C-alpha cells in the first residue's frame, strides 16, 4: 500500500483527505501537532504527533517509512489573524514548511501536494479567476501561500521536486457521515457561524459589509465541498504518481453566492432562522471571488459531486449537531 504523509492531517480539510485516501487504498500517515487538529478526527489511522518544524522527527519518519508523497495541510489559515500576527504566519506557513522541504530533499521524497488558496489573487481583475491571473495577495496569509508556491517552482527546477498546488476557494461542508467536520478555535468562517447563530441563544452572526459592488451589497464567494476538495487531492496524487508535470489548479464550483444568500440557504436547509446583524467590512475582503476550475476538470478529470450550496450547508448542519451532541 502506498504511504502518504499527511501533515496537518488531523485538521478540517486534512482529515477528510485522510479518510478518502484510506478508502481509495492508500496508507495515510498523519503528522500533526494537534495544536489545531483533533486525534478523534483520525481515529483508526496512524498518527505521529509532531510539528513540521521538527526536522529530526520528520527525517526519522521518512527514513523508517516509504513515503511516496507528502500532502501538507499544516498551516494557519485565518486571514484576520495573519494581519495582526504576521510573524506567526511567516514562521509556520513559510519557515517550518521550508524545514519540511529540507527533510524531504534529505530523504529523497520528491512529491508534494500543497494547500494553496484563492487569497494568492488578492483583488482579482476578472472573475471567474483563472490560474494565470495576476498574483497579488493582500494579506500575510495569502503571501505565505504564494511564497511556498514560488519556492516549489525553484525546488522543482533545482531538485526535481514535483508538486501540485491546489488553490482552494471557500472550503465548506462536512463528510456526510457526520464523524468529521469543521472545528476551528476561534471559528471565523461564515457557514459554521451562521449555524452557531441558530444553535446558541446568545450568538448573532454579523454580516461584514453591505456596500460591496454585488447585487445585494454583500461579498460573493465560491463555496466548495470539503469532500470535493479531498477528491481533487487524490486525483493530484495520481497525477504525480503517473509522473505528470508540476502544476497549479484552482478548486471551486465556479458559482458565487453572497453572504445573504448563504444565510438564506442555511435557513432553508435547517428550517430555522439565523440571527443576523449588519456590521462594517472586514479588512482585506474582495467583493467577488469565484473560481474557474476548468483546468482541474480538464487535466485532472475533477468534477465536484456536492456542488449545490444546499448540500454543502446540509452536511455542515449534520456535523454541527453531531459534534455538539458529542461535546466537541
Ligand atoms: N463573513 C461574514 N461574517 C462572518 C464571517 C464571514 O459576513 O462572521 C463573510 C466574509 O466577509 C466573506 C464570507 O463571509 O465575505 C466568507 O468568509 P469566510 O471567513 O468564511 O471565508 P474567507 O472568504 O475569508 O476564506
DSSP string for residues in 122-169: -S-SSSSBPTTS----SSHHHHHHHHHHHHHHHHHHHH--EEEEEEE-
SS3 226: helix
pLDDT at 284: 82
Q: How far is it, in rounded angstroms, from Cα 60 to Cα 200?
A: 45
Rounded (10°) angle between helices 12-23 and 226-241 = 60
Q: How far is the CA of 259 from the centre of ligand 1 (A)?
A: 7
Nearest of 113, 74, 81, 115 to residue 95 by alpha carbon: 74
H or E element in which residue 23 lies: helix 12-23
pLDDT of residue 143: 98
The DSSP annotation for 206-220 comes to EEE-S-SSSTTSS-E
Tell me, what's the pLDDT at 325?
Answer: 87
User: What's the whole-number mean pLDDT along residues 125-151?
Assistant: 97
Distance 110 CA to ligand 1 centre (A): 35
Q: Is the pLDDT of residue 164 over 80?
A: yes
- Which residue's CA lies nearest to atom 16 of ligand 1? 190
Split at pLDDT 50, 70, 90, the class of 244 is confident
Map residue 291 onto helix, strand or coil. Answer: strand
Q: Name the catalytic one among 141, 212, 223, 249.
A: 141
Residue 328 has pLDDT above 80, yes or no: no
- From the CB of 259, is ligand 1 less than 6 Å away? yes
Alpha-carbon distance of 118 to 291, in angstroms, equals 8
The percent of residues in the chain predicted with pLDDT above 70, rounded, is: 100
Confidence of residue 327 (pLDDT cuts 50, 70, 90): confident
- Going by C-alpha positions, the residue among 269, 226, 235 that lies closest to residue 21 is 235
* Mean pLDDT of all residues belonging to the chain: 97
For residue range 187-207, list pLDDT tens digits in order.
999 999 999 999 999 999 999
Cβ pair 103, 112 in contact under 8 A: no
221 within ligand 1 shell (Cβ under 6 A)? yes
Mean pLDDT of 274-286: 94
Is-above-0.95 flag for pTM? yes
What does the pLDDT look like over 290-317, one tens digit per residue? 999 999 999 999 999 999 999 999 999 9
Q: How far apart are CA 233 and CA 228, in angstroms?
A: 9
Q: Is the CB of 193 under 6 A from ligand 1?
A: yes
CA 143 to chain centre: 15
Active site (annotated) includes residue 249: no
Mean pLDDT of all residues in 215-219: 98
pLDDT band, residue 283 (cuts 50/70/90): confident
Range list of β-strands (E), the chain: 3-7, 27-32, 46-49, 67-72, 111-117, 162-168, 170-172, 205-208, 220-221, 223-225, 247-251, 257-258, 276-279, 288-289
Mutate to test the pocket of ligand 1, among 167, 189, 261, 291 (most ligand atoms within 8 A of CB): 189
Pocket test for ligand 1, best of 119, 282, 284, 316 (most atoms within 8 A of CB): 282
Amino acid at each position: 500500500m502506498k504511504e502518504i504523509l499527511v501533515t496537518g492531517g488531523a485538521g478540517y480539510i486534512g482529515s477528510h483527505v485522510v479518510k478518502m485516501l484510506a478508502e481509495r487504498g492508500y496508507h495515510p500517515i498523519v503528522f500533526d501537532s494537534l495544536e489545531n487538529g483533533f486525534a478523534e478526527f483520525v481515529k483508526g489511522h496512524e498518527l505521529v504527533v509532531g510539528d513540521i518544524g521538527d526536522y529530526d522527527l520528520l527525517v526519522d519518519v521518512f527514513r523508517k517509512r516509504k513515503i511516496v508523497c507528502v500532502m501538507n495541510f499544516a498551516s494557519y489559515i485565518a486571514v484576520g489573524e495573519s494581519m495582526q500576527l504576521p510573524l506567526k504566519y511567516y514562521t509556520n506557513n513559510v519557515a517550518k514548511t521550508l524545514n519540511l522541504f529540507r527533510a524531504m530533499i534529505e530523504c529523497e521524497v520528491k512529491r508534494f501536494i500543497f494547500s494553496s488558496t484563492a487569497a494568492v489573487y488578492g483583488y482579482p481583475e476578472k472573475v471567474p479567476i483563472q490560474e494565470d491571473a495576476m498574483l497579488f495577495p493582500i494579506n500575510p496569509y495569502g503571501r505565505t501561500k504564494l511564497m511556498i508556491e514560488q519556492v516549489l517552482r525553484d525546488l522543482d527546477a533545482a531538485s526535481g521536486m514535483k508538486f501540485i498546488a491546489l488553490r482552494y476557494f471557500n472550503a465548506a461542508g462536512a463528510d456526510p457521515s457526520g464523524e468529521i467536520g469543521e472545528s476551528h478555535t476561534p471559528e471565523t468562517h461564515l457557514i459554521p457561524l451562521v449555524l452557531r447563530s441558530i444553535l446558541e441563544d446568545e450568538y448573532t452572526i454579523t454580516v461584514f459589509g453591505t456596500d460591496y459592488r454585488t447585487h445585494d451589497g454583500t461579498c460573493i464567494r465560491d463555496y466548495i465541498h470539503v469532500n470535493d476538495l479531498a477528491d481533487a487531492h487524490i486525483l493530484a496524487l495520481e497525477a504525480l504518481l503517473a509522473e505528470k508535470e508540476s502544476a497549479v489548479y484552482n478548486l471551486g464550483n465556479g458559482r458565487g453566492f453572497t453572504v445573504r444568500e448563504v444565510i438564506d440557504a442555511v435557513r432553508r436547509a435547517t428550517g430555522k432562522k439565523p440571527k443576523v446583524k449588519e456590521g462594517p467590512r472586514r479588512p482585506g475582503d474582495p467583493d467577488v471571488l469565484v473560481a474557474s476550475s476548468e483546468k482541474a476538470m480538464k487535466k485532472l478529470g475533477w468534477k465536484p459531486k456536492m456542488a449545490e450550496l444546499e448540500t454543502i450547508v446540509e452536511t455542515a448542519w449534520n456535523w454541527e449537531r453531531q459534534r455538539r451532541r458529542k461535546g466537541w
